[in-house]
Structure 1
Amino acid sequence: MSGPRVRRKWRPTLGLIVFSVLIAVLALPTAIVIWFRALNGTTSQMGPVEFAALAVAFGITLAVAYILTRTVTGPIDALIARTEEIGRGGHAAIQPLKTYGTREIATLSQSFLDLATRLVDRTEYMRSFAAHVSHELKSPLTAIKGAAELLRDDDADKPITPEERRHFLDNIVADADRLDVLLNRLRELAYAELPMTAGETCLANIVDELQHRFLTLVATAEGDTETRFALSLEAGTIILGHLADNAAQHGARHLWITASKDGHRMIVVVADDGSGISEGNKELIFKPFFSTRRDVGGTGMGLDITRAMLQSHGGSIRLMEGSRAGTAFEITVPIAL
């Protein structure tokens, strides 16, 4: 479905309006000269002073026309052309204009370039994401189909043994569970991509939720645990829940969560005592579907969901060099107003 369209009708161009105004300005001194000559009853040819006045007016009009063309109509036409170029060429066409003319046009152009960059990045991300999702869903579906066909085509002369039947059924259940996890992650990612939803909570409330969900982890809240920040309890639990889940999968037994104020932001450091992240994987952990535990059900979507949800709430996340053994992440999120 296409978006709203501007109603088609004739509208004057900016250049037409500008030059019409300039012609009117040029006509003004001519009209004044004619008016005063008519009042004085003068019918002789115009004198040098009158010619000079009209020449000066004409020269000023041309100068103003040149300035307006360079500072207004030219940059706007260039911005329109750049818009069409970006629509055809993507990232390669996102380049600044040669001239902007006025501060307002420069600000408009920068806003447009920022928006175009986000839209093109988003398009490329969705294209890559769709390819990854197709691959991730295809693998368990293929395994389920293969196991089901083997069970369906069981030969009466050479029947499948109970152990083989149980093995195939276990594979079907395991792959179905993996599909269920993937679909849950996709729902969380869709929630993360929504505009910021109203709500606020504090670290103490989130840690209470985590302690109920992760019984093998001892979650400890430290620092400013009562200041409320601009995350709903559900969003905060999803964000820290993914970090807690990663920690538990890597053998962590303790989770230290420390909060502190920094102006209008909360800085939340989440550290664990698990096996940590290898140097070779530190640059890959935020990539969608990257997982070192795929064989035990890891989807590689947790950190991508965490980052997307924080960005939709005006926050961010980065990997730290932890002071404790294990892994440490720093999260920033706005304080609730």
Structure 2
Amino acid sequence: MLGPGVGNTQKWRPKLGFVLGGGLVGTLLLSFVGLVALRYLGPEIGFKNAATLLATIILLATAFLGWLLVRLLLRPIQALERYAADTRKTTDRDIQPPHHSGTKELHNMGQSVIEMATELRNREATIRSFTDHVSHEIKTPVSAIRAASELLEDGDTLNASDREILNQIMGAARQIETQLASLREVARARETRHHGHSDLRDLEGWIDQQHPALSVDLTGADVAIPLDPEGLKILITHLAQNAFAHGAHALQIAARQTKNRIEISICDDGSGISPGNAAQIFDPFFTTRRTQGGTGMGLTILRNMLAAHGAQISLVSPKSVTTSVRDPNANLTQNCLQGACFLVRFY
């Protein structure tokens, strides 16, 4: 459903070809008419006066043509650009669609963009609503199972075998609750916005406090990253926790600005990721640490958050990072060439 102000009222709109062709023809006619008029008016009022008069008329006519082009082309395009930017930044309220649609082609394009934005918002709302509904419906019986398990645990009638089964039931209930919390976090990550800029200097001090067991090396601290400091810390936290869980002791983070994008590499000296698991690590609920409490949602949350900011994350070979992202004079250590390496690209 289109918002107010967008073309539900029928009105005549010129075609783009008519506007452009009219502008070109008008420019040529002004030049031709000016030459003809100067020839006949010159002897009557003097060539200097005739030239001044014709220059004023041509200037006014050119200004009128420019005004038409601005109104029919430039203003609608700028309005559509602002609408797209506001829609990308705002998810909790409706955005007023542009009022100026210009030519027929721009009007149709504007309607298509607005319909697409509305459809995407509706899909996000559906995902959020479904997530909340499923979480609520599952959380209620899980809470009942936990309450009943606690009552049984407080009793003295259970033998050792029964208590072992009861512990498994309670563990399964806790795992379901953890998965539900991760599912809600994934839905929120699709909406969370961390607009702004930061650089790796925002991690200094903080990362040593949060991850004291890791030796962290930062390169490219002067590169402006299109993510606010909080978003950058979320990114590093997820990957640092994964690195530590897989036995890493060193973490090397590098940022670099190329011609058309900004890249960040995060590499560790842990056990790495096997080729068999590499294709699945971004899949929801995939984890190799289920028995240690892993939910398999961390990288999915990270991917959704980065996608909301026009970025992509991928698992790459550490050897490729030494030449594509890092300063050649500050290559990865030999240990980090054997661990996991993630590359984030902001386009």
Indicate yes or no: 2:335 matched with 1:333: no
Conserved? CA contact 1:253–1:273, under 8 Å: yes
Superposition TM-score, scaled by structure 1 size? 0.55
What is the CA-CA distance between 1:241 and the residue it aligns to? 0.7
Query: What is the alpha-carbon distance in structure 1 between the residues aligned to residue 231 and residue 159 of structure 2?
Result: 48
Query: What is the alpha-carbon distance in structure 2 between the residues aligned to residue 297 and residue 188 of structure 1?
Result: 16
What is the CA-CA distance between 1:193 and the residue it aligns to? 3.0
Helix, strand or coil: the match of 1:242?
Answer: helix
Corresponding letter in the other structure for 2:225: F
Indicate yes or no: 2:203 matched with 1:203: no
When the two chains are superposed, the root-mean-square deviation of aligned CA atoms in Å is 4.4
**1:212–1:179 CA distance, 2 compared to 1 (3 A):** farther
**1:232–1:263 CA distance, 2 compared to 1 (3 A):** same
For residue 45 of structure 2, what is the aligned residue in structure 1? none
Among 314, 320, 324, which residue is 2:316 paired with?
320
- Kindly provide the CA deviation profile for residues 107-133 of structure 1, in whole angstroms up to 9, marking residues without a partner as x: 447636854774686478658856985
What is the CA-CA distance between 1:309 and the residue it aligns to? 1.5
Among 297, 304, 308, which residue is 1:301 paired with?
297
Among 206, 211, 228, which residue is 1:232 paired with?
228
Conserved? CA contact 2:149–2:170, under 8 Å: yes
Indicate yes or no: 2:189 matched with 1:192: yes
Conserved? CA contact 1:182–1:299, under 8 Å: no
Conserved? CA contact 1:132–1:289, under 8 Å: no
- Kindly provide the CA deviation profile for residues 25-51 of structure 1, in whole angstroms up to 9, marking residues without a partner as x: xxxxxxxxxxxxxxxxxxxxxxxxxxx
- Kindly provide the CA deviation profile for residues 266-315 of structure 1, in whole angstroms up to 9, marking residues without a partner as x: 20011112222222322222222222212111111111111121122222
Helix, strand or coil: the match of 1:226?
Answer: coil
1:85-96 alignment runs, 5 A limit: none
**1:165–1:195 CA distance, 2 compared to 1 (3 A):** closer
Corresponding letter in the other structure for 2:113: S
Conserved? CA contact 2:264–2:345, under 8 Å: yes
Corresponding letter in the other structure for 2:273: I
**1:238–1:132 CA distance, 2 compared to 1 (3 A):** farther
For residue 256 of structure 1, what is the aligned residue in structure 2? 252
1:119-268 alignment runs, 5 A limit: 122=124, 141=143, 144-152=146-154, 154-155=155-156, 159-160=157-158, 179=177, 183=181, 185=182, 188-189=185-186, 192-194=189-191, 196-206=193-203, 208-222=205-219, 224-263=220-259, 265-268=261-264
**1:132–1:333 CA distance, 2 compared to 1 (3 A):** farther
Query: What is the alpha-carbon distance in structure 1 between the residues aligned to residue 2 and residue 113 of structure 2?
Result: 21
Query: What is the alpha-carbon distance in structure 1 between the residues aligned to residue 112 and residue 4 of structure 2?
Result: 24
Query: What is the alpha-carbon distance in structure 1 between the residues aligned to residue 214 and residue 221 of structure 2?
Result: 19
Corresponding letter in the other structure for 2:343: E
Corresponding letter in the other structure for 1:329: F
Query: What is the alpha-carbon distance in structure 1 between the residues aligned to residue 272 and residue 140 of structure 2?
Result: 30
Corresponding letter in the other structure for 2:241: D
Helix, strand or coil: the match of 2:264?
Answer: strand
Please list every run of 5 or more consecutive structure 2 residues that lacks an aligned counterpart in the other structure.
Answer: 15-102, 320-336
Out of 239-248 and 114-123, give the one that drifted further.
114-123
Conserved? CA contact 1:202–1:227, under 8 Å: yes
Identity over aligned residues, as a percent? 26
Please list every run of 5 or more consecutive structure 1 residues that lacks an aligned counterpart in the other structure.
Answer: 19-100
For residue 307 of structure 2, what is the aligned residue in structure 1? 311
Conserved? CA contact 1:203–1:226, under 8 Å: yes
Query: What is the alpha-carbon distance in structure 1 between the residues aligned to residue 186 and residue 128 of structure 2?
Result: 12
Conserved? CA contact 1:129–1:288, under 8 Å: no
Query: What is the alpha-carbon distance in structure 1 between the residues aligned to residue 339 and residue 137 of structure 2?
Result: 31
**1:12–1:187 CA distance, 2 compared to 1 (3 A):** closer
What count of residue pairs does the alignment treat as equivalent?
Answer: 240
- Kindly provide the CA deviation profile for residues 78-106 of structure 1, in whole angstroms up to 9, marking residues without a partner as x: xxxxxxxxxxxxxxxxxxxxxxx975367
Conserved? CA contact 1:207–1:220, under 8 Å: no
Query: What is the alpha-carbon distance in structure 1 between the residues aligned to residue 286 and residue 137 of structure 2?
Result: 13
Superposition TM-score, scaled by structure 2 size? 0.53
